[in-house]
Amino acid sequence: MDQDSRTLATVVTSLQKSLIRIETKLELRADHEARIRSLEQGMARHAWISSLITAGLTAGVVTIANLAITGGI
């Protein structure tokens, strides 16, 4: 009986350690996901800036190409 209780205690201790490792990994993943969401929200907030810059550059290139084709340059 004494050997059975030691074996059971060893198994329970091993399971507790495994559970702690799993919980730690889950917390780390949740933290990473929260950071990624925060970065994505920041990018979404400032997406209009890159859209305006892209539109401006495209308009400039089209204007220069149009002037070059029509002989305005």
Q: What is the DSSP string of 25-66?
A: HHHHHHHHHHHHHHHHHHHHHTHHHHHHHHHHHHHHHHHHHH
pLDDT at 60 over 90: yes
Looking at residue 44, its pLDDT comes to 81
| Of residues 53 and 5, more confidently modeled | 53
